[in-house]
Structure formats: C-alpha cells, structure tokens
Amino acid sequence: MKKLLGMLLASILMMSSLAGCAGNEAASGTVNVGVTDTLGSLNPLLLNGGEINKYATGLMFLPLMDLGPDLSFEAQLADSITTEDNLNFVVHIDDNAVWSDGEPVTAEDVEYTALRLTSPVINNTAMSMYRAFVGVGEDGFVEEGADKIEGIQVIDEKTIQFTTKYQMALTTFQNTYARYLLTLPKHKIEAFSEAELTTAEWFNQPDVVSGPYIVTEYDFDHYISYEANENYWKGTPKIKNLNIRIVEGSQLYAGLQSGEIDITQHTMSLIPQEDYASVEELDNVQVVYGAPVTHQSVFIQTQNVSDARVRQAMVYAIDREKILSDLLNGKGEIVEGFVSSASPFFDPAIEPLPYDPEKARALLAEAGWDGSQVLRFYVNSGDSTFVNAASVIVAQWAEVGIQAEIKTVDFATLMATSETTDYDVLAVQYTYAPVDPYPDVAWLLGGEDSWTGYGNDEINAALENTQTTSDIDEITQLYSIVDKKVQEDVPVFSAYVVSAQGAVNNRLSNALPTVYGFFNQVEKWEIK
C-alpha cells in the first residue's frame, strides 16, 4: 500500500510539473537578425530617428504604440490612445504592463521619459519635436531643471494626457510620439542626474526592461546580443537568444544561404539588388518583398546649394528610370516628393521630372553655374546598391558640368552628419509612413535647422491643414501641394522608391519580414 501511494504521489507531482511547464514554457534556441545599418546608442533618450536605433532599443523599452504590417496602429505599452478634439490626447497604459522586476509601468514613467526627452541638458536635437506640446519651447525643450510640463499631465496611475498647442491628427500623434516615446523605468534611473543620463552605462546593460528582450553584450559596429525577458508581461519569448548581426550588404546572401542569418528586414537589412535573384533561389528561405514605401531620398543642403535652378538641374541630369531598371531590376518606382503609390494620399497626376541633360545645362547656364564647386555627396556605405547608383549619378552630373565627390560613411556617421550643415548632398533610405507622412515632411522641411535648411510658407500651411481633416481626397490634395512645391524648389528628391527584399529561414514560424511592426510580436517567434 505504501509503495502504491508513493507511486501515485510521484505521478501527481510529475503531472503538476508538466502542467506548470505548459503554462510558462521556457525560452530556447537562438535567432540571428542580419542588418546592414550601424547604431551609436541603445539609450531611448538619444534616439536619432534611424530604424535600427528604434528597433534595437524598442526590444527592451516598448513604444506606446507602433504601426503594424497592415499599416494600422497596434498596442504596445499603451492599449488605447484617444482624442475628442485633436488637442488633448489621452494615453492609457495597459493594466497588465509591468517592468521585468514586477513593478507596474505607470503614467509617471511616461511623464518622466517625456520630461527627459525635452531636457536641454540631454539636448537630443534629433528628437526635438516636442515643441508641439503646451509648456515646451519652440526649440523642443523645456527650461533647464523643469520637473513638470504643462501639456503632459498624469491623470492616474495608468493614464496620462498630452495637450498640443494646435490641432493634430490622431494618426500624427500615434506615428510621431507614440511610436518613438520608449518609456523608461523611473524607479530605477531617477537617481541619475540629467547629465549622467546621456553617458550612464546602465542603458547598455539595463537590469529592468518592459520589452521582450534584454541586452547582454554589444559591439555597435558588429552585433547586439539579447536574452529573453522571462518575466515579459505579454508572455515569455519562445526564442531565448536573439542577436542583431551588423554585416555588409554583400554578406547577407551568404549568411542566409549558410543559416548563420535567419531573417532580414526591408529597412534595416539592405540586400544588394544584384543578390535578389540568388536569394530567391535559396531552398531554405522564404522571400518577402515590401510595399514601395522606402525612398532613396537625396537631401540637398540648400544653404550650400542655394539656387533652385541648380537643384532642378541636378534632377534633370539623372536618368532615374534607367537606374531603377538596371540596378533594382525594376523593383520599385519613381515618384516626386514624399508620397509613394503605397499611400492612400498618392497623386498619380504629379509626373516625375524626366531625364533631360539639355534642360539641366540650360538651367545651370541661367543660374550662372561655373562648375567650380565640388559637391560633397554623403552616402550610406551599408547600402551597396545606392553606392553603385551614386557613382552613376555623379557621372551623369559631370556630363552637365556638376562636380561631386562621393563620401561613403557608415549609417551612424551619416546620421551625425545630417545634423550639421557640413555637407552639400546626403542620401539615405527614408521610410515615410504612408498613413501619415506629416511629421517627417514637416521636420525635414522645417527651415534652417532641418536636414535641408529649407522652409516654405505654402508648404507649412498645407501640412498644417492635413491635421484638421480626415477626408482622404482633401489630404491628398494638400500633399500634392507639398510635392509640387518640392519638385519646383528641390530641397530633396527621390532617386527611386524601393520595393525591398526581405527573407526568413524556413526553420522559423510566426516570423515574417515586414516594413512595419517587425518586432511587434517577436515573443511569438518560434523555431520549428
């Protein structure tokens, strides 16, 4: 009888143990994400607007919301954002959201993070768009030492209200602020001074996170290694170890072929166009092409190239259709301005400037261009396709009398250069959210402190009016005003809009390359 009771007890304990494992399955395995962009920081207070910066940091500190693959906004840290007047935006933090140490994520955490993002001591000019909120200066910062922002008020433990100085579309609030406010744990870092927050080693190996993964090792030029947050409030990630591997574009195909790279993404992983066909032939991966939303934008520093006729000539001199055909195998499109065919606001009536070298020469002569200025043309070394395209562009410019010198730099250096006026032309792949181009366009054409040094009252008025209507036809007309004016003054142009290639190893399930929302449900990724 004792022996039977012992066996019965052991059986019950085993069943109980198995049931417990099923309810909270331990993470296992390793997945490698191949990217070609570099980053300079994992500190959410030092975001620079680059996709890799946002994705790599957002694995640890969730945004309030993010765009999903279908271009709808998906809950992340917040489960709702509402407004009744396009002035007051009420953000509710998910009641289940907790930090990895078990402490609840609160509205005070959000307030604390916003206050530091507006700090003149931290002085992150790349994210100084908080000027829109009541109590924040036009430079995007509050007074040094401020401990409150009038337009950002805690309502209760899980609710916070943002109040703007002027009407703002809900999609703009979600796209500009909810996607890029990566909340920090006030209870862990409030002891740091604002000056210390820019250099604290804590951000490189934090011990408390809200997201699915926590960094363990990093070399910003080569890799970032993460381990699953087993206390993730949305469920323990099924993949124990996640690595972001920073490689040259030419290495992606070999990595996918060998299995050393499991997945690539359209905006961070620039597979060279010449490798597209080879990647498609691999038996061990699935290929996914993204919608044409990523522009190969070429920004002209108008303070250095001040005559609009010269800037127009720069576009007329380029055979963009041939570049699209020869270097991208036609996988993309040529558009003018910021709105591509993937956007509900696309206006097909705006025809791109054609290739016309004679027109370019005439404009240069009219502008009195003597050809003595050598344009400094900065290009992302991680984008081998555009490095090749840049060589074609420079050769075509030379044919009409425009001299340019290509300077290839890594992505982090390119972003640092963009914040200066120490360049004449700068090219970067830039993804303008199809559902809301407003924040990027307003920022990039925001006057002398912007990447282009260009501002225009007609453009400003059209952009502001996009924030006061939900009528798609009306918004389309307003963006058409912007794109036509940009076509005329050329502070920026699209060399092409790319339908980029992404790929995922067949050994993964629930993981798919997407232009938006790539890591939104990374905790569900699984090794088959």
Domain check: are 88 and 154 in the same one? yes
Determine, yes or no, domain membership for 192.
Answer: no
The reply to whether 271 falls in a domain is: yes
Q: How many domains does the chain have?
A: 3
Residues 6+ apart with CB under 8 A from 211: 58, 59, 60, 61, 62, 229, 232
What residues form DSSP beta bridges with 224? 218, 244
Q: Do 359 and 465 fall into the same domain?
A: yes
How high is the pLDDT of residue 454? Answer: 95
CATH of the domain at 372: 3.10.105.10
Instruction: Give the contacts of 286 (CB within 8 A, at least 6 positions apart).
Output: 503, 504, 506
The residues, any chain, with a CB within 8 Å of residue 450's CB and separated by 6 or more, are: 443, 444
Give the number of residues written for the chain: 528
| Judgement on whether residues 273 and 299 belong to the same structural domain of the protein | no
pLDDT reported for residue 26: 61
277, 299: one domain: no
Instruction: Round to whole Å and give the CA distance between 299 and 414.
Output: 12
**Digitized pLDDT (tens) for each residue of the chain, 528 residues in all:** 344 444 333 343 333 333 333 334 567 799 999 999 888 889 999 988 778 889 999 999 999 999 999 888 999 999 999 999 999 999 999 999 999 999 999 999 999 999 999 999 999 887 778 999 999 999 999 999 899 999 999 999 999 999 999 999 898 999 889 999 999 999 999 999 999 999 999 999 999 999 999 999 999 889 999 999 999 999 999 999 999 999 999 999 999 999 999 999 998 998 988 899 999 999 999 999 988 988 999 999 999 999 999 999 999 999 999 999 999 888 899 999 999 998 989 999 999 999 999 999 999 999 999 999 999 999 999 888 899 999 999 999 999 999 999 999 998 899 999 989 999 999 999 888 888 899 889 989 988 888 999 999 999 999 999 988 878 899 999 999 999 999 999 999 999 998 989 999 999 999 999 999 999 999 999 999
196 is a domain residue: no
Q: Does some domain include residue 3?
A: no
- Antiparallel, parallel or unpaired: β 526-527 and 508-509: antiparallel
Do 298 and 277 share a structural domain? no
Q: Print burial letters for 470-482: b (CB count within 10 Å at least 16), e (below 16).
A: eeeeebbebbbbb
Q: Kindly give the interhelix angle for 308-316 and 472-489, rounded to the nearest 10 degrees.
A: 100
Do both 396 and 437 map to the same domain? yes
**Does any domain span residue 202?**
no
CATH of the domain at 528: 3.40.190.10
CA angle 291/296/300 to nearest 5° reads: 150
In-domain check, residue 511: yes
314 & 411 share domain = yes
Residue 25: per-residue pLDDT: 57
Question: Same structural domain for residues 73 and 160?
Answer: yes
Residues 84, 142 within the same domain? yes
CB 241 within 8 A of CB 30: yes
Residues 248 and 237 in one domain: yes
For tokens 């039977």, name the residue. 4
In this structure, the answer to whether residues 219 and 175 fall within a common structural domain is no
Tokens of 350: 């705006």
Question: In this structure, is residue 163 part of a structural domain?
Answer: yes
> Three-state DSSP class for 225?
strand
Domain span at residue 304? 294-498
- CATH number for the domain including 135? 3.90.76.10
Element (H, E) at 414: helix 411-418
Classify residue 250: in a domain, yes or no.
yes
Pairing relationship of beta strands 223-228 and 294-300 according to DSSP bridges: unpaired
Same domain for 389 and 450, yes or no, is yes
